[in-house]
Amino acid sequence: MGNEISAIQKLVNTLIEFSVNYSFQVVGALIVLFLGWMIAKWTAALLLALFEKKKLDVTFSGFLAGLVKLVIVGFAVIIALGKFGITIAPFIAALGAMIFGATYAIQGPLSNYGAGIAIILGRPFVIGDTVTVTGVSGVVDQVKLASTTLVTEDNVKITIPNKHIVGEIIQNSGPNKVVESVIGISYGDDPEKAVRVIQQVLAGFKEVTDQPPPQIGIQAFGDSSVNIEFRYWVPTRKYFQISHVVSLAVYRAVKAAGLNIPFPQREVKILSK
C-alpha cells in the first residue's frame, strides 16, 4: 500500500513539475499553432479570391493556395516546437532518410503526384475541357495531385491516375465535342440544295456552336446515293441528346425540301433456257 501511495505521489510531483516548467510553453505553442492555422486559412482564401478575380485556372489556383497554406502551417509547427527547445535539424534528416527509403516502396503514388504537378503546371487541359486520353473520353471534372476525374454525358465518373496521362497523346476539344453525321440524297437531286437545307437546320439549334462553324459537304459518291456529311460541335454533356434531335430534324427537312433519300437496290434478272 505504501509503495502505491509513493508511486502516485511521485507521479503527481512529476505532473506538477512539468506544469510549472512547461505550462507557458504549451500554451504558447498552442497559440502559435492556432494563429498559424488561422493565418494559413485566411491567406489561402485571399489568394483564391485574387486568382478568381484574375481569372486564373481553378486547378492551378487551388494548387498554389494549398501550397502557401501548407508552408505557413509548417512554419507555425517549427515555431511551436521551438517553444520546447526542440531543434528541427534531426527531424529533417530523419524525414529525408524516410522519404529516400520509402520511394522504392511507393513509386506508384509518388509518380502520380509528380505527374499531377506536371499537369497542374503545364495545363494541357483545364476543368470543363473535353479530353480523350488512354482510350477514355469525358469532361474534366477534377484535377488532383494523384488523379484526374472525367465525367461522361451519362454522369459516369472516370478516375485516371495521373501517371497514365503524362506522356500520352491527349485530345482536347475544349468544352465541346464534334458530331459527325451523313445523309444520302439521290443522284438526280441538287447537292447544293441539300447543303443549304442542312445549314438552315443547324442554324436553328442554339446548342450548335458557331466557333468553329459547322462543316457540310459531299463526303463520298456511293453506289446509290450522294453522301452529304455534316459536322458540328455541341457541348459534350449534351452530345447524344442534341445529336439525336438534330439528325431527326435534318431528315424531316430534307424530305420536306423534296430531296430523295435513296436506299440500296438490286436488279435481279432470271435467265431461262
Which of 31-45, 51-65, 91-105, 116-130 has the lowest average pLDDT?
91-105
In a domain, 263, yes or no: no
Q: Binning pLDDT at 50, 70 and 90, where does residue 148 land? A: very high
DSSP H helices in the chain: 2-53, 58-82, 89-102, 107-122, 191-203, 239-256
**CATH code for position 70:** 1.10.287.1260
Domain C-terminal end among 152, 172, 192: 172
Residues 151 and 226 in one domain: no
- 112 grid coordinates: 502520380
Question: pTM of this prediction?
Answer: 0.60
**How many domains does the structure of the chain reveal?**
3
**pLDDT 10s digits, 52-76:** 777 766 766 777 777 788 888 887 7
Q: Per residue in 83-109, pLDDT tens?
A: 665 565 665 665 566 655 555 444 566
* Residue at 117 is within a domain: no
10 within some domain: yes
> Is 270 part of a structural domain of the chain?
no
Question: Would you say residue 208 lies in a domain?
Answer: yes
Cell numbers 442534341 label which residue?
242
Q: Let me know the angle formed at the C-alpha of 168 by 164 and 174, rounded to the nearest 5 degrees.
A: 100
Return the CATH number at 165.
2.30.30.60
CA–CA distance, 145 with 133 (Å, rounded to integer): 17
Q: What pLDDT, in 10s, does the model give residues 225-265?
A: 999 999 999 998 889 999 999 999 999 999 999 999 887 76
Give yes or no for a contact between 128 and 139, defined as CB atoms under 8 angstroms apart: yes
CATH of the domain at 193: 3.30.70.100
In a domain, 121, yes or no: no
What mean pLDDT is predicted for residues 204-216? Answer: 92
In which domain, by residue range, is 187 found? 176-256
pLDDT given at position 145: 81
**50 and 137 both lie in a single domain:** no
Check whether residue 16 and residue 33 sit in a common domain. yes
- What pLDDT, on the 0 to 100 scale, is given for residue 44? 83
